[in-house]
Chain A
Amino acid sequence: MSSNTDFEPKIIAFVCNWCTYAGADLTGTSRLKYATNVKIVRFPCTGRIDFLLLLKSFAQGADGVIVSGCHPNDCHYTSGNFHARRRWIAFRSVLDLMGVDIRRIQYSWVSAAEGSKWADLVNNTVADIRALGPYAEYQKVADYLEKEGYNEEA
């Protein structure tokens, strides 16, 4: 683990527009600081977040992923987060069965009022992923042949 001190994890956050995106906005308005490693992709709702996007993130070199939306009962669309929660239960189970490292996906509920929770979530996740090290295991698989294919396509 000592070799990971220089390692800057790449983390993508998939968040819903109404709660977590707004919560992260509040983190900004409150001028709370957090690590630069996380980049946010905005979705209308956690219900929109396709599990394939999470897989593609790891394939493309992400070391960790954050998925966050509204707390139960707070969904702007009533139940998108409940659907998402179920999908995540199943997805975690599939990944774990296949031996994918599910510690690298951090799920969370961050409301529009929880600016400081967002900062903590980012900082904690960055620390966790840093401790886990780069997700070389998955990226090694991704690099094989896949690069060729990608270039061809491009």
Chain B
Amino acid sequence: MKKLRERAAELLSQGVVSLVLGYEEGTKRPRPLFCRNSVNAEKLIFDSRCIHNLAVYITKKELVGKERFAVTAPISTLRSIMQLFVENQLNEEKLLVLTVDLNGELREFTTFDEIAAYVAQFELKRGEREQELLSKIEGMTREERWKFWMEEMSHCFKCYACRSACPLCYCSKCVVEVNRPQWINPWPAPLANMEWHINRAMHMVGRCTACGACGDACPIGIPIDLITRKMMEDMAPEFGYIPGQPAKQGNALSTWKLDDREQFIR
């Protein structure tokens, strides 16, 4: 952590970057810190409590393309950054990625390939919470699943925090804001909620890296992160990619293989 602060101060004072995006202590848990001078760099922290996915900020038009900046990224954020590279959203020249590895060493990355090589060491596994809930859902009948989600969705009041928290929801106009035609009604209602979440899952197929930010952001605790996570797990073997290892081979949904499964097609 000391090394991180020193390096951040150095980067800022030397003018290598104009901003270091990191974490500082918050009231209950660490919160994002937009650090623009070396004095502030003293506030930077980096530990296992830093789960807020800062990748969500790096596609904002206020940042992208304007200045060179650094972002401190735990492994889940690194995955998001990789996916953003795959989707042509980042500029390698304007981005510096910092992380602290398992030995407490500071690591710096500037390219997709460097991040990929580092991330490849980490397997993406289910945590206890995910394991418990997903095995519960997997054990349900279809009708039970429908009831379960309808019950969960009935609490959703369409605050779109899930969308705001997700680093991959960077569209300038979301489909719910498209009104010719109005595919999905933007207000909360059972159908509109269901459609929104199915739509979100479909938009995330082959893209989601299971950072869990959407689930964390949900103010009423709907486990929506499990939907995209489960899709990632199920589709990876189907389409031949490694979960949590975005690769520059084109999006899973917009590519295809001759022998894709089709026994459900009559």
Contact = CB atoms under 8 A, between A and B. Distances in A.
B2 interface: no
A93 B235 contact: yes
Interface string A115-154: 0000001001000000000000100011011100100010
B227 A94 contact: yes
Interface string A42-58: 00000000011001100
Interface stretch (B51-59, B80-88, B184-192, B214-222): B184-192
Contacts of B184: 52
Interface of A: 51-52, 55-56, 59, 72, 79, 82-83, 85-101, 106-109, 121, 124, 137, 141-142, 144-146, 149, 153
Interface bin, chain B:
35 or more
Interface stretch (B61-69, B138-146, B159-167): B138-146
Contacts of A90: 202, 205-206, 231, 235, 253
B266 A106 contact: yes
B122 interface: no
Given A82-B258, A86-B256, A99-B146, A92 B264 contact: yes
A94 B205 contact: yes
B198 interface: yes
A97 B227 contact: yes
Contacts of B258: 72, 82
B65 to A, nearest CB: 31
Contacts of A96: 142, 145
Contacts of B185: 146, 149
A72 B259 CA distance: 10
A52 B198 CA distance: 9
A149 B238 contact: no
A75 B201 CA distance: 27
A99 B149 contact: yes
Nearest to B147: A99
A144 B194 CA distance: 12
Contacts, number: 120
Interface of B: 137, 140, 142-150, 175, 182-185, 187, 189-192, 194-195, 197-199, 201-202, 205-206, 227, 230-231, 234-235, 238-239, 252-258, 260-262, 264-266
B187 A52 contact: no
A56 B266 contact: no
B119 to A, nearest CB: 24
A88 to B, nearest CB: 8
Contacts of B234: 93
A145 to B, nearest CB: 4
Contacts of B142: 96, 99, 101
A98 B202 contact: no
B145 A98 contact: yes
Nearest to B238: A89
12 contacts: A52-B183, A87-B253, A89-B260, A90-B231, A97-B137, A97-B227, A98-B197, A99-B148, A99-B149, A145-B191, A146-B189, A149-B187
A93 B204 CA distance: 13
A69 to B, nearest CB: 9
B189 A82 contact: no
A82 B257 CA distance: 7
A52 B238 CA distance: 22
B187 A107 contact: no
Contact of B231 (A83, A93, A99): A93
A74 to B, nearest CB: 13
Contacts of B199: 52, 55
Given A83-B254, A99-B144, A59 B195 contact: yes
A114 to B, nearest CB: 11
Contacts of A83: 253-254, 256
A49 to B, nearest CB: 13
A51 B199 CA distance: 9
A55 B195 contact: yes
